[in-house]
Amino acid sequence: MIRNLIFIFGLLNLIACQPMNPYTKIAPGTWRGTLLLDPSLANQPRPSDEDIVARKVKMEGNPDGVLPFNFEVKYTGDNDFNIILHNGLEEIVLDEISFGRDRKTGNDTLIIKFPAYENFITAIVKENVMAGYFVNPNKANYRVPFKAIFGVGHRFEPENQPKEIFDFNGHWAVQFDKNTPKPYDAIGEFVQKNDKINGTFRTESGDFRYLEGQVVGDKLMMACFDGAHAMLFRAKMLKDTLVGGVWYGYDNKATWEGVKNAQFDLKNPETIQTAKSNKYNLNTKYPTTSGVDKGFLDSQYENKLKIITISGTWCPNCRDEIPS
């Protein structure tokens, strides 16, 4: 009897010492991802994805050209999960996800597709690390090196904070590509709390979405990744002027400068695009769900306001407009 009890207690202790895995695929919770937008970084000798995963290679500091972002893995069932991208106040739920063992390599492989776009992330996963690429199949050789580490909640890597943290709050008159044939104006709108900062840049054709970042002394860092945009802004305060650069996706960098100016505004939208004539013939008919064609000149629409939306490149801003 005593021997049996000893055996049972020993077995229970052995079971208790085994790590319990509460998930079936990827660790649930917060992850920190990075994209290498600077090809000079991406083209440097780089370990294989398998080596990155096995060695848990970590990028030190916040080098220019490395876009950080955070996402959350949230299970909706025993085997199903969503990924939630975070950009400041914005949350994007991704549910087009596949996960399985690659028969050729023997690695657990993750594919994340972005809603309404053909872009995707493909990565191998081992324990609490993943490594692979962010891919735009519509652009030649658009494969941005990607990696992510579980359990890291900050966006930008912590740096030694000087005694003085500069104030970037407010309304900034900004010019991008100042010394090029095609400069353009923007308004920088930033809300800062201690060393954390959120904001956007408004241009005459839209805005740069939800930017989130950090202030280190006189240095500003902000980023956004939503599956369509991959943007990284950096700047330094020189006297009263912000001087910096921005990465628009892979291998596309521009410069920008800004001065705080609460009165600065962009051109009136009605003066940017004007009608060549006030006489329009919108005698166009469209099929309805009932099978009956209807047009703008039908009597039932006479003397009624008609709103026509002309969309350009399909992007997150366009998608925001459609549901409204």
Query: 199-253 pLDDT, tens per residue?
Result: 999 999 889 999 999 999 999 999 999 999 899 999 999 999 999 999 999 989 9
Q: Which CATH architecture has domain 170-260?
A: Beta Barrel (2.40)
pLDDT of residue 38: 92
pLDDT of residue 15: 42
Report the alpha-carbon distance of residue 235 to residue 216 in Å, rounded.
11
> What is the average per-residue pLDDT within 9-27?
57
Report the alpha-carbon distance of residue 37 to residue 267 in Å, rounded.
32
Contact 30, 151 (CB under 8 A): yes
**Confidence check: pLDDT of 83 > 80:** yes
**Confidence check: pLDDT of 277 > 90:** no
In this prediction, residue 16 has a pLDDT band, given cuts at 50, 70 and 90, of: very low
Locate CATH 2.40.128.120 in the chain.
170-260
Report the DSSP beta bridge partners of residue 149.
Answer: 32, 129
pLDDT of residue 314: 63
> What is the average per-residue pLDDT within 6-17?
48
Q: What is the mean pLDDT of the chain?
A: 85
Contact 95, 114 (CB under 8 A): no
Contact 233, 224 (CB under 8 A): no
pLDDT of residue 19: 41
In this prediction, residue 304 has a pLDDT band, given cuts at 50, 70 and 90, of: confident
Whether pTM > 0.95 for this model: the answer is: no
DSSP assignments along 30-98, one per residue: EEEEEEE--HHHHTS----HHHHHHHT----S--TTEEEEEEEEEESSSS-EEEEEEETTEEEEE-EEE
Q: Which pLDDT tens digit goes with each residue over 50-61?
A: 555 554 445 556
Q: Which CATH architecture has domain 21-150?
A: Beta Barrel (2.40)
Which percentage of the chain shows pLDDT scores above 70? Answer: 80
Contact 68, 58 (CB under 8 A): no
Report the alpha-carbon distance of residue 130 to residue 148 in Å, rounded.
5
**Confidence check: pLDDT of 115 > 90:** no
pLDDT of residue 268: 86
Residue 140 DSSP class: T
